[in-house]
Amino acid sequence: MDTGFDLRKHGGVEVFLRDCPTRAVLELIAGKWTMLVLVALTDGRPMRFAELRRRLDGVTSKVLTQTLRALEREGLLVRRVYPTVPPCVEYRLTRLGEEVGGLVQSITDWSQANIAAIQIAREEFDERTTRRPVGSYGSEHRPTRSGDTPD
């Protein structure tokens, strides 16, 4: 499958190929709860499970546990258990986790700075599409030649 420039020839991976290991990392990082955990921990201080759960409004214990385990498995987070009764467990980002956490924080900052424009675009789109009969497209989406399909 030709996906354009082949990085494998230059010692890299081809992320567009289905068996590329980078895809699994991207899938994890792109998850809503993963992104929010990374942002919650970017300030560098360790957080306990209950503190993270309160901070991430709407996350279930099960999903948070799965997310934390996945981040730990990928080397983005460390889990430290203190020998107390009951056990105290803290989570913090590794150097690798801090690096990707900074990138995710930038996406979060961009989202917050542009949410008003995004909401306007969403409303305009919804207004346009609700006025249009089902299955029809505006002239800008019609194929120009027989067999052409819109991008």
Helix axes 95-131, 32-40, angle to 10 degrees: 130
Tokens of 112: 């917050």
Alpha helices, DSSP H only, in 17-90? 21-30, 32-40, 49-55, 61-73
pLDDT in tens, 87-135: 899 999 999 999 999 999 999 999 999 999 999 999 999 999 987 665 6
Tens of pLDDT, residue by residue over 45-60, are 999 999 999 999 999 9
Percent of the chain with pLDDT over 70: 78
> Coil, helix or strand for 74?
coil
Which has the higher per-residue pLDDT, 45 or 3?
A: 45
- Which range among 14-28, 36-50, 77-91 shows the weakest confidence by mean pLDDT? 14-28
| This prediction's pTM | 0.74
Contact 41, 101 (CB under 8 A): yes
pLDDT for the residue 3: 54
Residues 6+ away with beta carbon under 8 Å from 74? 25, 28
Instruction: Determine the residue type at 37.
Output: V
